[in-house]
Amino acid sequence: MSIIKLHDLYFKPFISENEIKSIVKYLANKVKRDLPKDEVPIFVGILNGCFLFAADFIREFEGNCEVSFVKLASYQGTSSTENVKQLVGINEDLTGRTVIILEDIIDTGTTLQEIYNIFRNKNVKQLKVASLFFKPDVFRKELPINYIGKSIEDKFIVGYGLDYNGLGRNYSEIYQLSTTPKMKNIVLFGPPGAGKGTQATFLKDMYNLVHISTGDVFRFNIKNETELGLLAKKYMDEGDLVPDEVTINMLKAEVEKNADANGFIFDGFPRTQSQAEALDAFLADKGEQINGMVALEVPEDLLVERLLERGKTSGRTDDTDETKIRNRFNEYNTKTAILKDYFEAQNKYYGINGVGSIEEITQRIAKVFDTL
């Protein structure tokens, strides 16, 4: 989960899809346990926001039931207007029936009071309320809320049926209103020999960003025998891959050391989708985000030539063997394809022509940077 933008506002991850599923299941089971055996309740969902919750709740409910919906509105923007519109009534005969109102969220209770009064006058056997979310700090009505999935603070949320001026209902998670991100955070990617390190040096000065190189971070931690460095070295000495968690924690520590930065250029990280997801979650928790993944694209044969030429003077043995070089490209292409898909899904992938002079390539990247 990462920061999302709807209209003019930003929202940060708040409640995951898995947690929502657990809450819905808990509510459905609790309602079922409280019903007399063989009783068929009628669930009434409040549209528009409740449609996802109601659908999932009904699927989790183990037993026969009837379902209906009523429609009204009491929201404009991010705050309740307390002006409840006309209720689209229910046609079923509710005499002697158990009616359970399903609400996605209850805050002031103004909307619910209107609905409750209507159903209370229909000679029902029982009238209960089940709400996915509840804001106790602003609830002002003398109404019984029989089932509460999760109590939350009074901050505007979207997702899972809830919207901000029409947008956001389709997200499977819940997002909470956040501040506008202040940092410019870039993932800089490129195959071996593409000049990624050279470009990072220019770009960090041009945009006053902090350059975080995974290789440099690893070497620093191992050389200084930090707790994370010793742990990473242990895995490396045993010929094992360093777990994502260790790498991510090193990067987190580096970000924390530069809390006042204008932003970061992440070089060589993330390398896997799980790392990308962890980075998104870490930044989102701070109200920040990855603005874009900028990838230098250079034909493989040209890069092989570059690296073989570099190997004549660099002293790096892995730059003198073409087979080893092409194996590195295979590994890069496999990982990059996954990350490209991941960032493209967020409209954050930018491929840059990496052929040309250093200055030309810097200018191409700068044009993208200026739009992020």
Whether 182 is catalytic is no
- 320 belongs to an annotated ligand binding site: no
- 196 belongs to an annotated ligand binding site: yes
Whether 271 is catalytic is yes
- 166 belongs to an annotated ligand binding site: no
- 194 belongs to an annotated ligand binding site: yes
- 193 belongs to an annotated ligand binding site: yes
Whether 196 is catalytic is yes
* Catalytic residue chosen out of the listed positions 196, 204, 348, 364: 196
Whether 120 is catalytic is no
- 356 belongs to an annotated ligand binding site: yes
Token readout for 11 is: 């929202």
* Catalytic residue chosen out of the listed positions 25, 310, 335, 340: 310
- 107 belongs to an annotated ligand binding site: no
- 59 belongs to an annotated ligand binding site: no
Backbone angles phi, psi at 113, to 5 degrees: -60, -45
Token readout for 279 is: 């980075």
- 198 belongs to an annotated ligand binding site: yes
* Catalytic residue chosen out of the listed positions 12, 135, 204, 271: 271
- 328 belongs to an annotated ligand binding site: yes
* Catalytic residue chosen out of the listed positions 169, 252, 328, 335: 328
- 268 belongs to an annotated ligand binding site: yes
Whether 328 is catalytic is yes
- 317 belongs to an annotated ligand binding site: no
Residue numbers in the known binding site for ATP are 193-198, 310, 356
Provide the annotated binding site for AMP: 214, 219, 240-242, 268-271, 275, 316, 328
Residues with catalytic roles: 196, 271, 310, 316, 328
Give the residue ranges of the annotated binding site.
Answer: 193-198, 214, 219, 240-242, 268-271, 275, 310, 316, 328, 356
